[in-house]
Structure 1
Amino acid sequence: MMKHLSLATVVITGLLLIYITGSFPAWGDPNSPASTHLSNHYITKTMEETSVPNIVSAVLGDYRGFDTMFETTVVFCAGMAVFFMLGAYKRDQPTVRQFRHTETGVVLRFRNGAKTPREGGAFEEIDPTWIPYDFIVSRVAKLMVPFIQIFGLYVIAHGHHSPGGGFQGGVILAAAFLLLGLSHNMRTLINRVSNKALGLMSAAGVVLYAGYGALAMIYGGNFLDYSALAGLLGMDPVAARSFGILVIEIGVGLTVMSTMVIIYNNVASVGRYDEGL
């Protein structure tokens, strides 16, 4: 019954969306409202009103701030949905745990109840379906991680002056963590950044975005009207709008980065956070 009801809901929703698209302007119509009003205003007024050379970032972070905020919220909800579907329940611990001596490669097996070596010392825990350790891959990947992270921060910080922004920078930062997990193992990644920390950072990004917009209301402006914070920041309204775009880009980057790692951790390990890919 539920399967048929779900199918009917999807079909009806799809038909409604197809019907609504009939009222949209023709594709590429130069006389559409977007072409005759919005586009011209953004192209000619962005620098004057926001002091942001990157028009795309000005549109996403300022002119169309509501939409971008809800996009960020959708990303956060996607990560939470994956967590609650895969990672919210305790899994049975394996009956046998395996540890490898990092210097010699000797593998020891311990059954439940047996005292195991200390993690992070001369031994490291490995997966039951163990893939041979590759010294070159792991070392090269670990060397690349900080450079990838610096580039990700650069993309976020300069997103309103050059191509980039919170979404792009967040993906690059997440790629650094995923590279660590793929070149080593899931436990190494979890030891560097826990699932609790990832969840807090993912939520903090959304809170930073919405909170900065709400702060503008306290100072007499509209929600996400960054120019209202000019007095608080000690700068003119145009510079305040530029700074506001940077703040919300940081929030977007936090959420995107954390959510991607959350999704990887849960999907790759089916919510167990032990073996991974």
Structure 2
Amino acid sequence: MRFLGFIIVCVTGALLLYGTGEFPDWGDPDSPASTHLSNHYIEKAFEETQVPNLVTAVLADYRGFDTMFETAVVFCAGLACFLLLRDFREKKEHFYRHTPTGVILHVKDSKKILKVGKELEHMDKDWVPSDLIIKSVCRIIIPFIQIYALYVVAHGDFSPGGGFQGGVIFSSSLILLAISYDLKTLVRRIKEKVLGIYAALGVLIYVGIGAICMPMGGEFLDYAKLVPLVPGDPHHIRALGMLGVEIGVGIAVTAAMVIIYINIVSEGRHDEGL
């Protein structure tokens, strides 16, 4: 089976390398992208999309389908990681640490779960005592990281940034919570079901905004047709539609990244990990 998989990978790679021979040379000034496409984007982007940020205009408008499927790929990556790694077998033992004394409790009964609080905390088998300074500093900076992530998403149509960047930054704040405290802290605060719902919701927001444009008389992702539904300056409707798309991308990327992290570091058990 491994040999068959190796053959498939080699054949696929060879086909991809063969296809690259038809691409124009790197930096070729006579390539289609350099002769007319790039010039059109640079000269007409603001006039056609009302978005001052050229990168956002290209990603969310001119090649909106491509960005939508990129978001779907991120969602599928999180789903595949969940399906391949998630282990639903009940854990047979639990480890706790009595904080005032440092005594470690090993509970072998899987059904007996002690209440975690000021005196007891979860621990892994290969547990390293948490550092008060690290935990305190991370608790202070995590909200600022999340605020900056929201800023990046919100300003994606006006400045460099957007859903992918903001989603990764926001997910990094949640991953930092797991690293500075422990994985159980993150899993308790954000349930597995909630992460799955948010990952799917982000993709649905993107698709939904595009689909709403169709019954309004436009094509898929034709943001200009949202004028009757969105209050505000009609000339800025396209930018607002792209902002909604960026929000959907940010939600999907955040949830998918956290799902991937939790399942990889805990080997699908959601009980121990970095």
CA 1:213–1:115: 2 relative to 1, 3 Å: closer
Contact between 2:41 and 2:54, CA under 8 Å: does it hold in 1? yes
CA distance in 2, matches of 1:110, 1:180: 26
How far did residue 37 of structure 1 move?
1.8
Q: Deviations over 1:109-160 (max 9, x none)?
A: 3231685431235312211222112111111111111110000000000011
CA distance in 1, matches of 2:237, 2:107: 60
The answer for the alignment partner of 1:25 in structure 2 is: 24
How far did residue 237 of structure 1 move?
5.1
Q: Which moved more, 1:69-78 or 1:98-107?
A: 98-107
CA 1:192–1:116: 2 relative to 1, 3 Å: closer
Matching residue's letter, 2:91: Q
The answer for the alignment partner of 2:177 in structure 1 is: 180
Gap regions ≥5 residues in structure 2: none
How far did residue 7 of structure 1 move?
2.2
Q: Which moved more, 1:137-146 or 1:17-26?
A: 17-26
The answer for the alignment partner of 1:253 in structure 2 is: 250
The answer for the alignment partner of 2:152 in structure 1 is: 155
CA distance in 2, matches of 1:228, 1:103: 63
SS of the equivalent of 1:232 reads coil
CA 1:132–1:40: 2 relative to 1, 3 Å: same
The answer for the alignment partner of 1:80 in structure 2 is: 79
The answer for the alignment partner of 2:223 in structure 1 is: 226
Instruction: Decide which of 122, 127, 152 is 2:124's aligned counterpart.
Output: 127
CA distance in 2, matches of 1:180, 1:234: 38
SS of the equivalent of 2:97 reads strand
CA 1:18–1:113: 2 relative to 1, 3 Å: closer
The answer for the alignment partner of 1:106 in structure 2 is: 103
SS of the equivalent of 2:147 reads helix
CA distance in 2, matches of 1:113, 1:252: 39
Matching residue's letter, 2:200: A
Contact between 1:228 and 1:237, CA under 8 Å: does it hold in 2? no
Matching residue's letter, 2:74: V
How far did residue 226 of structure 1 move?
0.7
CA distance in 1, matches of 2:174, 2:136: 14
* 2:228 pairs with 1:217: no
CA 1:128–1:102: 2 relative to 1, 3 Å: same
Runs of 4+ in 1 over 4 A off after TM superposition: 113-116
SS of the equivalent of 1:37 reads helix
Instruction: Decide which of 91, 94, 97 is 2:92's aligned counterpart.
Output: 94
SS of the equivalent of 1:79 reads helix
Contact between 1:178 and 1:261, CA under 8 Å: does it hold in 2? yes
- The two structures have a TM-score, normalised by structure 1, of 0.93
Contact between 2:91 and 2:110, CA under 8 Å: does it hold in 1? no
CA distance in 2, matches of 1:50, 1:38: 16
Q: Which moved more, 1:180-189 or 1:115-124?
A: 115-124
Contact between 1:49 and 1:238, CA under 8 Å: does it hold in 2? no
Gap regions ≥5 residues in structure 1: none
CA 1:115–1:83: 2 relative to 1, 3 Å: closer
Identity %: 54
CA distance in 2, matches of 1:178, 1:113: 27
Contact between 2:216 and 2:225, CA under 8 Å: does it hold in 1? yes
The answer for the alignment partner of 1:62 in structure 2 is: 61
Matching residue's letter, 2:23: F
- The two structures have a TM-score, normalised by structure 2, of 0.94
CA distance in 1, matches of 2:273, 2:111: 24
Q: Which moved more, 1:22-31 or 1:106-115?
A: 106-115
